[in-house]
Structures are given as structure tokens and as C-alpha cells.
Amino acid sequence: MIIYNLDLANIGPFKEAHLDFVDVDNPTDVPTVTIITGENGTGKSIIIDAIRGVLGGPQANLERDIVANKDFVISSEINFRGYKEQLSATRNTLSKTTKSFLTNIPELNSKFGTPAKNTSDWIVNFWTSKLSTDPFEIKQIISPKTNNYLVNALSGIHKNIEVTQLICFFDYLKGSDDKTEQQIGNKLFEILKQIIELSLNNGKLSHISRTKLQPIIEQNGKEITLDKLSSGNLYLMQRFSFVLKQMYSVCVNNDIPIEEIQNIKGVLLIDEAENHLHPKWQKLFLRNITKVFPQLQLILTTHSPFIVSSIENCRVYVCESMDNYSIVSDQTDIYSNKPIEEILLSPLFNTNSFNYDISELIAQRKKYIADGDKTKAKKIEKKLLKINPQYFDYLNVDDILKTITKKK
């Protein structure tokens, strides 16, 4: 599955919009990462909703109505069966709202329902910023329903109980007397351990309590259960585990050797992951995904300059508000492959390293110097020196040089 581009008209705040996710003139074997950013209310998440809507069609069931006008367009070039084709959405006449759509490729939409048999060799998943509140406890081990691995994949629903089920099932396979199952379980458990170590701060998977059917985590030298993890740790571990579960299903459905599981391709949609992540984890977020799942195409929204600056050669789109609508533009040249310091000071984030008052004084001093008003500039310098004499000591350089010259 590849999504090449997206065209919108009369969707959310966008009169029209076009986004390219893949450079068809310069194709690469490395899956693309596209970051969509912008201020609140500019339509970032609606772009993700539109993709979910056109992929899922009547199965999408979006949380909100994103259509602004009956003459709307959601259209995308995709590849899900070995060749490029146009996927377009129209109004779902069977629904009273426009939270779901009909499309010209119902075969694709039906895969997100309950197919009798699903032999697709790709995955799609959506990560919302919301965390599930259901319990983690299970009473028995249940193997994944591999035919249904795309059901709810566009909803963002990731239940806690399913994380426990998955980990315990992989442990069951690892302990099987059947050599093939044992081999599969060992490989899955190896990846699972990697996921947990990447998701936790000073933590790892200790063991599975087979009497209680509980995964036990060791963090900072203490053994804890999953429900004791922080929201950020749980967010990462939960989401990664669901993608692994989907990839396992693809291997089972298509007789793909388990050694190839991390080469399964697909599309991962992510909406504002930073809500649960400390800046340290925001910097590592995309790198960790591409480390574990190197063949996934990523399309995500974020407010975080740390995520924008965290990975090389990504595409960056910026949503901006006009008078009564929004536009989205490719600003990759401005934001991609730039250090965090530059991105923080860019027009989008406009984040100074000082508080508001100091930033205002620095701006005033700069203006007075440009105007040639040395007297007012000097007054500002005295204020800055009074606030932080150590940091702004460089403003005394002229006086220091004069003192040195006199001594000579």
C-alpha cells in the first residue's frame, strides 16, 4: 500500500488543497515520511481524517463531519494491488451524515470491514492521541483473528486488553512444543522486547506471569504491571504492538516467513503523538518507528518542533489560516534537515530562548541600533545587564576593550 498524493476541495477549512507524499519523479526504496504541521485550528487533523475517509469509505465512520460543501473532493492516487489507481470519495447516500463515504474502489473499503478472507500483503493503521481506559486483565489466551486485522484500523481504537492478549499469545508460541510455532514465537518475542525497550525509560520486558496471564515490566529496577506505566510509555508500547500484530496477521494470511515480518509494507497515519511524549521521546519517536518498521510510509500531524526536526529527508507541509479558510503548502525547504534551534526560531513556531520581556528588550535594542539611536540602545543594554549580568556581559565589550587599552 502506497499513498502518492491527496487532493481536497471543500473539506474542513480547505477550499482546495494538494499534498504530494511521494516524489514520483525521484522514486526511492525508502518509504516516505510526511509531516503536516501548523497552528491550532488550521486543519492538520482534517487532512488525516480525509485520508481515513477515502480509504475506509463506508467503513470509516469518522468522529466528525469534515465536508464543508456538497461539491466536495477527496481524491488520492494509491497502490494497493500492484499498480497505481485513482481513489475518489462521494457522498454516502445511505448515511444521514458525511462521516463516511462511498468510493470508486469498494474492494479496498471492504477490507476495513469483516472480510471472509484477507490476503492483502500490507497494513494500514491510525494512531490517535487518545488512550484507552479499559482494563489490562485477561482470563484466557486468544489467538489473533488474522482475517480481521484491518477492522478498526482506521478508528484509532487500541484496547489495553488486546495488548495483554498479544504479549501472552506470543509467549505461548515461544513456549510451544511445535518447532515451527516456537521459531515464530521467538522472533515475535525478540521484536516485542525491542519495542518495549524503545518505549520505556530504563525499562524492559522481564517475563510473563503464566499463572496470572500478566506481562511483567522491569523499570528502574522494579517489577511492575502494564497498568502502572506512564501514559507516554503506554502510548508507544500499545501502538507499536498493534502494528506488530497486524504484520503477524499478514505473514499468517500469506504464508510469509516470519523472518520477513519487519519488511511488511503499509501506511501509518498519526495524529499529534506529542500529547503524551516528553520532548526527549518526541526527538526519538519517528526514528524508533522506522527502526522497528522500516517499510512503513508515515503521514503524521504535529505541533512539535522536536518531531519536525527529528528525522532526515522528510516532507513538511504547513497549514495556515487565511481570512475564512486555510491553505496548506509544501515548506520542506524551510523545515526539513534543519537543526531544532532554527526550527524554534522559524515563523511557524516563533519560539525565543528568552521570556517575553527579555525578547521584547532585545528586539527594541536591535531596532534602535538599526535606527542609529545609540543612547536608547544603551539604556536597553543596561536593563538587560541588570536582569542577567552574566549572560549579557558581552554587551560591555566596548567598555572592557577601553579598559584594556588604557592599561597598555
Ramachandran area for residue 70 (φ above 0: left; ψ -120 to 50: alpha; else beta): alpha
Task: Report the DSSP beta bridge partners of residue 34.
Answer: 299, 315
- Pick from 89-93, 187-191, 254-258, 300-304: least confident: 89-93
- Give me the pLDDT at residue 408, please: 52
- Give me the pLDDT at residue 402, please: 57
- Give me the pLDDT at residue 400, please: 53
Return the SS3 of 343. helix
- Give me the pLDDT at residue 96, please: 66
Q: Which amino acid is at 289?
A: I
Task: Report the DSSP beta bridge partners of residue 17.
Answer: 8
Residue 86 or residue 117, greater confidence: 86
Backbone CA torsion sign across 227, 233, 236, 241: negative
* 327-380 per-position pLDDT tens digit: 999 998 888 777 766 776 666 676 666 677 887 888 888 889 888 998 998 899
* 36-73 per-position pLDDT tens digit: 998 888 999 999 999 999 999 988 889 899 999 889 99
- Give me the pLDDT at residue 304, please: 87
Counting residues of the chain whose pLDDT is more than 90, the rounded percentage is 55
> Could you give the CA distance from residue 378 to residue 382 in angstroms, rounded to a whole number?
6
Residue 385 pLDDT > 70: yes
Work out the pLDDT band at 95, boundaries 50, 70, 90. low
Helix axes 231-254, 279-292, angle to 10 degrees: 10
> Could you give the CA distance from residue 229 to residue 111 in angstroms, rounded to a whole number?
33
Mean pLDDT of 25-39: 81
| Structural domains of the chain ordered from first start | 1-110+294-351 (3.40.50), 130-271 (no CATH), 356-407 (no CATH)
- DSSP assignment of 127-191 equals E-S----S----SS-----GGGTTTTTTTT---HHHHHHHHHHHHHHHT-SSHHHHHHHHHHHHH
Supply the mean pLDDT for the chain.
88
> Could you give the CA distance from residue 317 to residue 320 in angstroms, rounded to a whole number?
10
* 291-330 per-position pLDDT tens digit: 999 999 999 999 888 888 888 888 999 999 998 999 999 9
HSE at residue 21, side-chain half, CA atoms within 13 A, is: 28
Residue 27 or residue 19, greater confidence: 19
> Could you give the CA distance from residue 218 to residue 223 in angstroms, rounded to a whole number?
4
Residue 120 pLDDT > 60: yes
- Give me the pLDDT at residue 278, please: 86
- Give me the pLDDT at residue 266, please: 96
Whole-prediction pTM? 0.84
Counting residues of the chain whose pLDDT is more than 70, the rounded percentage is 90
